[in-house]
Amino acid sequence: MLAADAMIHPAYSETAGMVLVEALTAGLPVLTTDVCGYAFHIANAGAGIVLSSPYDQSACNRALLEMLTSDRIPGWRSNGLAYAAKEDLYSCHERAAEIIEETVRRKLERQTMV
């Protein structure tokens, strides 16, 4: 990724798309689709282009041409790096486990009260 000009991820279906977060941390401008679960990070960071559903190949082609010829590349790159530096992008698994454990603990406490 460090030698690439852009990251293109035009998925039809993608629950997470951790590769998008990896691209942010590498300062790589991203072209992706809104069906990727982590596409919101690209939009929030201002680190590339997120295509709307339904997928349209001609729209993807236009966005790719824009991305590769745009003077916005340095901005997308620096926006991604800044976003990755301030956001907690990697503890999602730990946080999910904490929520599950807390839910189970509460359920067990309710059962012992009955």
Report the alpha-carbon distance of residue 35 to residue 112 in Å, rounded: 42
DSSP 55: P
Within a domain: 99: no
For 1-44, strand residue ranges (E) read 7-9, 30-33
pLDDT tens, residue by residue, 104-114: 888 888 888 76
pLDDT tens, residue by residue, 3-36: 888 999 998 888 778 899 999 999 999 999 999 9
DSSP 26: T
Is the entire prediction scored with pTM above 0.85?
Answer: no
Report the alpha-carbon distance of residue 92 to residue 98 in Å, rounded: 10
Within a domain: 31: yes
Within a domain: 1: no
- CATH number, domain of 77, equals 3.40.50.2000
Within a domain: 100: no
Q: How many domains does the chain have?
A: 1
Containing structural domain, residue 26? 7-89
What tokens were used for 87? 């956001």
